[in-house]
Amino acid sequence: MSVIIDKQLFLDESGECSFSEKSIYKHFLITILSVDALRANQIKKCLKRKFAFFVRRGWPKGKELKASELYRDMRFGALAVVNVLQSLARVSSLETSYIVVNKDKIRHESFRKAPYGIGYNYFTNVLLSELIFQEGFHSIHLIYDVRNKETHQKRHFKEHLETSILGAALEKDIQVKFTVQGTDSSSCYGLLAVDFFSWAIFRKFEHGDDRFYKLFLHRLKRRREWYVEK
């Protein structure tokens, strides 16, 4: 009998899953941060310490701690982001998985012209399915940011994932406990944490800067790169 693994998952995206000519991004990225449910509180403890440290050095107390803003702030910059990533990478059982897409190389017209949000749903499901059906994440709770513009109600993101995953589990005759929750990233330390990893991974592909990506190579679990030149 397979061992049931209780996992807490946090979802983030970088870039824009849009094929509009107005889009300024070449790539689109879905990142999932996973941690044993019993270890999730370590993420909170880690980030609370970092936040207190940065506040003492001038970071606005009521401002959300985001990798991109910390990087751009002249008082903190790259070294501060490195500090946070290195600390998070030491959290027991923490792993990062991602799927990155070079949008220019996707030529399927029906996909490119699909309503906004379809791509987000599809690529999220691809990555999540691999974690569940290939990595054995059979008892998981997924949290995503409700403020994410890709997950608006017209796309029924939560219902789409639940139907896809539980339907696939039924077909495969695999017992899966899967729940999905949308919440505000400002009140969820797991979402704050996955933002740092997602930013670092996206920076590698979009800007050719892998300084931050290299900090957690030992924490990478699944890597899917669509039409990305090696």
Domain CATH number, residue 122:
3.30.420.10
| Encoded amino acid at 86, one letter | Q
Residue-wise pLDDT tens digits, 161-219: 999 999 999 999 999 999 999 998 888 999 999 999 999 999 999 999 999 999 999 99
Mean pLDDT across the stretch 212-229? 92
DSSP 92-129: TT-EEEEEEEEGGG---HHHHTSPTTHHHHHHHHHHHH
Number of domains in the chain: 1
Please report the pLDDT score of residue 192 as a whole number. 97
Range of the domain at 196: 6-226
Report the C-alpha gap between 3 and 137 in whole angstroms.
Answer: 10
Is 202 part of any domain?
yes
Please report the pLDDT score of residue 108 as a whole number. 84
Reported residue count of the chain is 230
Residue-wise pLDDT tens digits, 104-113: 888 888 888 8
Residue-wise pLDDT tens digits, 136-169: 888 999 999 987 655 545 557 888 899 999 999 9
Evaluate if residue 2 carries a pLDDT over 50: no
- Give the distance from CA 222 to its chain's centroid: 12
CB 178 within 8 A of CB 143: no
Is 1 part of any domain?
no
CB 140 within 8 A of CB 4: no
Highest mean pLDDT among 13-17, 82-86, 115-119: 82-86
The H or E element spanning position 141 is strand 139-145
Residue-wise pLDDT tens digits, 38-60: 999 999 999 999 999 999 999 99
